[in-house]
Amino acid sequence: MSILELDKSQRAIDLKNQTIAGTIARLFQMLVDIYGKEIGSLEKIKKREGQEVELVFKALNTTITLNLSKSQLTPHMRSSDKASATIILAMKREKLIPTIIDLIRTKNNFLGILKVLIKYVLPGKIKIKGSFGAAIKVIKLLSMGTHPMYKK
């Protein structure tokens, strides 16, 4: 294989990873827009409005930035210069989607956040840098377990 072919294959892998991260970012935005309004998660932004939180997907070698506001959650496919917090998802690629699904199904109350802390943050699967409050706020925004669709 030539260097040019390696470069093309690496660019293809990078594009695939960015597409996956972009789809996850769009999923987060749709979840908050559709289901978050019903459970009032955006009204709980308060003093975090206007802050940016980075999500780093180590397995995908990609970063997305989430802008917090009372009206919507806006994702961007870039890293931020002024991020108040960074959430690093430091797990293998195969575990990334199941972890995100588990976070979405988590209830956005004290016990749900405690579950996330014990299951993911303490073992180092999710790392938080910067403002712990802003990172927890994003996790609570994405946790839809209190929505009526999850009641049995």
Overall number of domains in the chain:
1
6 band by pLDDT with thresholds 50, 70 and 90: low
Mean pLDDT of the chain, nearest integer? 84
In this structure, is residue 152 part of a structural domain? Answer: no
In this structure, is residue 150 part of a structural domain? Answer: no
In this structure, is residue 151 part of a structural domain? Answer: no
Q: What is the CATH number of the domain that holds 133?
A: 3.30.1050.10
What is d(CA 82, CA 84) in angstroms, rounded to the nearest whole number? 6
Whether 134 and 85 have beta carbons less than 8 Å apart is answered as: yes
Q: Render pLDDT for 122-132 as a digit per residue (tens, 0 to 9).
A: 999 999 999 89
Structural domain of residue 139, as residue ranges?
Answer: 3-145
pTM comes to 0.85
